[in-house]
Amino acid sequence: MKYKIALLPGDGVGKDVMEAARIVLNALEFDAEYIYGDIGWEFWKKEGNPLPDRTIELLKETDCALFGAITSKPKKEAQEELPEYLKGKVEYFSPIVKLRQLFDLYANVRPCKAYEGNPLNYRDDIDLVVFRENTQGLYAGIEFYPVPDEVRKAIEIHPKMQKFKEIPSDEMAISLRIFTREGCRRILKKAFDYAKENKRKSVTVVEKPNVIRETSGMMIDEARKLKEEYPDIEYGEANIDAMAMWLLKNPQNYDVLVTSNMFGDIISDLSAQLVGGLGFACSGNIGDKYAVFEPTHGSAPKYAGKYVVNPTAMLLSVKMMFDWLGEKKFAEKLENGIATTIREGKVRTYDMGGNSSTLDMAEEVIRNMD
């Protein structure tokens, strides 16, 4: 086989949409070996590890991965679902966040495109891509509760900590938002290179440097240096709060947006809703050597196994995988099938006002691929 691809269905409807993806991949006769890996809530409950070491080793032997969806619960609820012998001995972590860290998948790429005929489109002329830094910022996961004395002593040198001086350490929680110049530079370069390669007219950096001066300020500083290398691409800057407003007002004006982890999480979901919601929201977690492609919706446990959810986000994630592998003909063929299915509207899942199943939608995409 030309490729080895890991399939990680995960939890809930992740298994349903992965089945839809597999049906389409088989119909395309894509030259790949598919290897299923264990990931998700059931392995947390059985083993105290939602990302078993065997799965990490499996991924190291593959070219890339397709991921379905994951269930995550708050700390206390996660502990309650463990067997007695594991309670209090392990802490839950997000498997997808850990994958991003382990494989240095620093670019989270989220296309948001309005396909003609989608009754859920906010406008029909939206076609933007969000580049979200994936390994630093708040999602690096450096948090403290209660706050250790050593940490407290270190940050109390900052004058703005004085107003918290009398608050007990067990009544305070701290998250650190960490940026590095290299982290900023490489996500910005990824966005600019994408714009250049795909003939996009503009790149807009979305941050909040007027308030979060040091971290957002570093991102803006690096962007202003880098933009000089791309004179043919229009460069813009926007505060995150203003961007939320402008995306509702004039989403058609934006092309490529690039930002840090938390802000990217927010505006990519907002952008997804403009083109139909999370049922259409594909993404790629992309590094220099490996990539994991996934729909951005959750596991939706109440719908698991009912095959009612929209598989389009998963199928568009497959299309992204083809692009990343350099298989442009497969990418074009699949996207044509998706676009035709949406435009004709003969088969629609419940979110689009129809009553077709997840697999009905996949079969219709196959019929329309040619």
Quick: pLDDT tens for 324-369.
Answer: 999 999 999 999 999 999 999 999 999 999 999 999 999 999 999 9
Q: Where in the chain is the domain with CATH 3.40.718.10?
A: 1-106+290-370
What is the mean pLDDT of the segment spanning 139-144?
90
For residues 124-157, one letter each, b for 16 or more C-beta atoms within 10 angstroms of the residue's C-beta and e for the rest, the string is eebbbbbbbbbbbbbbbeeebeebeeeebeeeee
What CATH number belongs to 122-140+180-274? 3.40.50
pLDDT digits (tens, 9 = 90+) for 275-317: 999 999 999 999 999 999 999 999 999 999 999 999 999 999 9
> 1-106+290-370 belongs to which CATH class?
alpha beta
Closest CA to 115 of 368, 354, 337: 337
Q: Which amino acid is at 153?
A: K
Q: What is the pLDDT of residue 74?
A: 87
What is the mean pLDDT of the segment spanning 245-253?
97
Q: Give the single-character DSSP code of 148.
A: P
Q: Where in the chain is the domain with CATH 3.40.50?
A: 122-140+180-274
**For a pLDDT cut of 70, what percent of the chain falls above it?**
100
Report the C-alpha gap between 60 and 39 in whole angstroms: 15
Report the C-alpha gap between 272 and 111 in whole angstroms: 8
User: Taking the model in full, what pTM does it have?
Assistant: 0.93
What is the mean pLDDT of the segment spanning 42-59?
96
Beta strands in 155-244, from DSSP E residues, in sequence order: 174-175, 202-207, 234-239
pLDDT band of residue 149 (cuts 50, 70, 90) is: very high
Q: Which amino acid is at 143?
A: E
Q: What is the pLDDT of residue 368?
A: 97
* Mean pLDDT taken over the chain: 96
Closest CA to 239 of 273, 205, 203, 265: 205
